[in-house]
Chains A and B, each alone.
Chain A
């Protein structure tokens, strides 16, 4: 094969790539409303919520602000954001859990914005003092879902799970693979000793749980499958997953999913953050997006997007009610301090991987 052939092949290969679809992001457009024309720039939304696609379309329909959605799991989104650190390309991030947001705020990547939308007392407790991010709703970790057809023992505290009645029957998720699970572990630690001695006491507790036959599965779905197949009788999963399981699965003589909440339940909010790297036009648009998420209309769209999954949240906006079938909000709950527990995540997850799994 001659040299020119080699060159031609190589250049043809690259030309095939470069001449192919080469879409750039949507360009800025102008929107005319009420006689005045304003410049509109597209927002880039990184989201891991079941309602994100429908919500983005609804927001665009209402405001004519284009939203380019990157809909993935939380892990890849945070990996993208970390890799983009030199030149952020995202406008908004909407995922469960506020530890990552505390870290982003510490890195100076978040724009502070105090929304004018009112929040309930629970919502206010979830909002940071510096308004670097905004909670939009909350679920809790963990819901204890058990098969009432197989067992009559019902725990009332986390210490009960260390008893003989629960030996080899309790399962939970792997915090290395399940995003909501680290807040659950941190919540138990926080409850046992706060930020001063919580980690040590929590490790002792989980070691005892392990000695009592704790089984670890990758994610909510895997833990629920283990419950369905009878490998475990009690599953510690995210509340929306547990409630969704109860709504989706028809109870039978051998399988009756039932849910209890042990004190204290750790709040796991869905959180919206705005990138600090945005230009003024996009900053204003992003603030509109946040306000829309906390409006009655926005909350309704969130509840319609994933009726057996992420939409099973407790609202933190006054006047918005949870979906039918949702249980009462847990009486005993706690809010984690995101900065301390965010910094401890790597250490705790690594310890769990080596000692509990």
Chain B
């Protein structure tokens, strides 16, 4: 029997019928879909994976007894300890280096994205792979490389150079900022380049038609890319503030206190001082929320939907010979500084026997790699981590699109602003905070009593990975998702396409490349994720990052570094396969969108 539908007004909402009920009286799935608020399901997910664990950890600062971390049900003692002289200085240090790192990474990322997308500069094809390699390189390896180069009686001294003057400069805020900017560069580049792809040349031509020169054009383009630029700055700032790796290595060696090191010592000590760690986390969050408010103020009330059905393919500028030379030298210097140093660190630790030391043969030696490849400590853990990373990247991508859609809505509601705050706060908190928060939340006796035992399972580990990945992945996509004009999808609906078909045939193609980039970034970040893996991996399963750390802790620098290098190479292989697959399988139009001619 065919059904026809009557819309019934809801009292108080006369113009907005809520219920679609068949004449037969049955409530349909369509009705149910309209009944459920669009953000309700999303918020349920976010509460489970983000809000509850974060709030559980932050609660420890004011109510230690609530989580079995003390006897006081309410106390501000942790904050008074956190605001003592040492940690205040560390917070100021963290703020300073994070601002500089964000600006430096943002500037270099923008310049790199512009050159890659809008000019015919040589070696463009290498950039994406090199940036993924950089993203994969752990802070430890970058710091190790610099230390091996600059240490007294190190390699530079062995070849007759005296790095002492440079060492005194690098072992301090300069070095810490450099490493953090290097680590943030891939985020900045990807966030800006995905948005730059969606910017057709009609806007630049409009400026030129109205008499604007290159500077005016550049200012206009930067303004149009503001959401992506601010996203890039926000991601790098938040990642720098919450970085653990540099804090525990270079910053500590340089006696340059940063806030995350204070948090690190609080959770490394025994008895563990979770209330102090939680109080420091509150302060870190405060820094990042301030950055978020700055971002919102800069973008308030403006529209940036530039990607539509009539966007014109941008043109590549032909660089002059001097410009090409400058670019080539700059690019080489960038690669040498960002990837060359950690590569050297890896070689020194794993490929050359006793490089820079008084002992050893100083010969090339593949022994570490052969030993590691034959060891059960590599293959099984690497495959395990790869599977987890694959699931995490897929789930994070789906959720991130939903979140990015909410965030990119102009004049977003309170829901959007709260979501923004939750996501940016999550980036501000180190992974170990998340992990502890997950234990506090999902190891509560009430869950065990109810038979909901997910602590100690792969499910909880995946949820935690998702929580750590979602904020950054969302920020990466905000720029691109925010550029998509609603008119395209609306036109498709007017012409009879369903919502799902409209999404698949209109929205997906224009977002395909940003989605691929975001998926890969999440995959690579999850593969070598450490703090969450350490605390939440199920008994009997060992993620590769934990295996590497365990080897290094047993003074097996050669073996641990070899495992690290092989894991990075495996991730780069996945990057190559996915990008290669996209190039082969995706329709031509998907690949050509936004590509300058």
Within 8 Å by CB of B458, from A7, A23, A224, lies: A23
Contact A1 B555 (CB under 8 A): no
A85 to B68, CA, bound (A): 6
Which of B35-43, B162-170, B230-238 interfaces with chain A? B35-43
Contact with A along B495-523 (1 / 0, CB 8 A): 00001100100010000000000000000
Contact B41 A80 (CB under 8 A): no
A351 to B504, CA, bound (A): 61
Contact A82 B272 (CB under 8 A): yes
CB distance from B29 to the nearest CB of A (A): 9
CB distance from A353 to the nearest CB of B (A): 7
Contact B154 A229 (CB under 8 A): yes
Give the nearest-CB partner of A228 in chain B: B357
Q: Which residues of B contact A176 (CB under 8 A)?
A: 252, 265, 268
Q: Which residues of B contact A100 (CB under 8 A)?
A: 270
Q: Which residues of B contact A187 (CB under 8 A)?
A: none
Q: Is B301 an interface residue (CB 8 A)?
A: no
Q: Which residues of A contact B358 (CB under 8 A)?
A: 147, 149-150, 228-230, 252, 254-255
Contact with A along B543-586 (1 / 0, CB 8 A): 00010011011111100000000000000000000000000000
Q: Which residues of A contact B552 (CB under 8 A)?
A: 221
Contact B269 A99 (CB under 8 A): no
Q: Which residues of A contact B249 (CB under 8 A)?
A: 218
Q: Is A153 an interface residue (CB 8 A)?
A: no
A4 to B41, CA, bound (A): 10
Using a Cβ cutoff of 8 Å, how many contacts connect chains A and B?
228
With A13-B398, A17-B391, A44-B539: A78-B357 Cβ-Cβ less than 8 Å? no
Give the nearest-CB partner of B396 in chain A: A13
Q: A residues 13-41 with Cβ under 8 Å of B?
A: 13-14, 16-18, 20-26
With A25-B538, A69-B539, A147-B358: A1-B272 Cβ-Cβ less than 8 Å? no
Q: Is B456 an interface residue (CB 8 A)?
A: yes
Q: Is A346 an interface residue (CB 8 A)?
A: yes
Q: Which residues of B contact A145 (CB under 8 A)?
A: none
Contact B537 A70 (CB under 8 A): yes
Contact A346 B539 (CB under 8 A): no
Q: B residues 369-405 with Cβ under 8 Å of A?
A: 387, 391, 394-399, 401-402, 405
Contact A17 B466 (CB under 8 A): yes
Within 8 Å by CB of B554, from A24, A310, A349, lies: A310
CB distance from B570 to the nearest CB of A (A): 19
Question: Which of the listed residues B359, B395, B396 has the most CB atoms from chain A within 10 Å of its own CB?
Answer: B359
CB distance from B86 to the nearest CB of A (A): 7
A158 to B538, CA, bound (A): 45
Which of B179-187, B280-288, B338-346, B442-450 interfaces with chain A? B442-450
Q: Is A241 an interface residue (CB 8 A)?
A: yes
Within 8 Å by CB of B33, from A7, A22, A310, lies: A7
Q: Which residues of B contact A17 (CB under 8 A)?
A: 391, 395, 459, 462-463, 466
Q: Is A202 an interface residue (CB 8 A)?
A: no
Q: Is B354 an interface residue (CB 8 A)?
A: yes
Q: Is A334 an interface residue (CB 8 A)?
A: no
Give the nearest-CB partner of B357 in chain A: A228
Q: Is B535 an interface residue (CB 8 A)?
A: yes
Give the nearest-CB partner of B392 in chain A: A17
Contact B402 A6 (CB under 8 A): yes
With A12-B398, A16-B394: A83-B45 Cβ-Cβ less than 8 Å? no
CB distance from A67 to the nearest CB of B (A): 9
Contact A87 B457 (CB under 8 A): no
Interface of B, secondary structure class, is: helix
Q: B residues 65-81 with Cβ under 8 Å of A?
A: 67-69
Contact B458 A87 (CB under 8 A): no
Count contacts on A: residues with CB < 8 A to the other chain.
86
Contact A86 B534 (CB under 8 A): no
Q: Is A131 an interface residue (CB 8 A)?
A: no
Q: B residues 431-451 with Cβ under 8 Å of A?
A: 432, 436, 439-440, 443-445, 448
Q: Which residues of B contact A224 (CB under 8 A)?
A: 555
Within 8 Å by CB of B540, from A7, A69, A251, lies: A69
Q: Is B593 an interface residue (CB 8 A)?
A: no
Q: Which residues of B contact A147 (CB under 8 A)?
A: 358
Contact with B along A76-93 (1 / 0, CB 8 A): 101110111111010000
Q: B residues 16-39 with Cβ under 8 Å of A?
A: 33-34, 36-39
Q: Which residues of A contact B478 (CB under 8 A)?
A: none
Q: Is B453 an interface residue (CB 8 A)?
A: yes
With A78-B272, A230-B358: A357-B255 Cβ-Cβ less than 8 Å? yes
Contact with B along A344-357 (1 / 0, CB 8 A): 01100110011001
Give the nearest-CB partner of A73 in chain B: B553
Give the nearest-CB partner of A91 in chain B: B539
Q: Which residues of A contact B306 (CB under 8 A)?
A: none
Contact A218 B252 (CB under 8 A): yes
Question: Which of the listed residues A2, A26, A107 has the most CB atoms from chain B within 10 Å of its own CB?
Answer: A2
Q: Is B217 an interface residue (CB 8 A)?
A: no
Contact B41 A11 (CB under 8 A): yes
CB distance from B42 to the nearest CB of A (A): 4
Contact B448 A87 (CB under 8 A): yes
CB distance from A145 to the nearest CB of B (A): 12
A249 to B154, CA, bound (A): 18
A69 to B42, CA, bound (A): 36
Q: Is B138 an interface residue (CB 8 A)?
A: no
Within 8 Å by CB of B401, from A9, A23, A342, lies: A9
A36 to B257, CA, bound (A): 62
Q: Is B420 an interface residue (CB 8 A)?
A: no
A48 to B554, CA, bound (A): 10
Contact B274 A72 (CB under 8 A): no
A244 to B557, CA, bound (A): 14
A89 to B453, CA, bound (A): 11
Q: A13-B396, A79-B272, A346-B273 are in contact. List 4 more A-B contacts (CB 8 A).
A: A6-B42, A9-B401, A17-B462, A225-B557
Q: Which 7 A-B pairs have the closest CB atoms?
A: A68-B539, A3-B38, A82-B272, A228-B357, A221-B555, A13-B398, A2-B499
What are 22 inter-chain pairs, A to B, with CB distance below 8 A? A6-B42, A7-B42, A9-B398, A10-B398, A10-B402, A13-B396, A13-B399, A23-B458, A24-B456, A86-B68, A86-B443, A87-B448, A89-B456, A99-B270, A149-B358, A220-B555, A224-B555, A228-B354, A252-B359, A254-B358, A346-B273, A349-B269
Residues of chain B touching chain A, judged by Cβ–Cβ distance below 8 Å, are 33-34, 36-39, 41-42, 45, 48, 67-69, 86, 151-154, 248-249, 252-253, 255, 265, 267-274, 354, 356-360, 387, 391, 394-399, 401-402, 405-406, 432, 436, 439-440, 443-445, 448, 453, 455-459, 462-463, 466, 489, 499-500, 503, 507, 534-535, 537-542, 546, 549-550, 552-557
Residues of chain A touching chain B, judged by Cβ–Cβ distance below 8 Å, are 1-14, 16-18, 20-26, 44-45, 48, 50, 68-73, 75-76, 78-80, 82-87, 89, 99-100, 103, 107, 147, 149-150, 174, 176-177, 218-221, 224-226, 228-231, 241, 244, 249-252, 254-255, 306, 309-310, 342, 345-346, 349-350, 353-354, 357
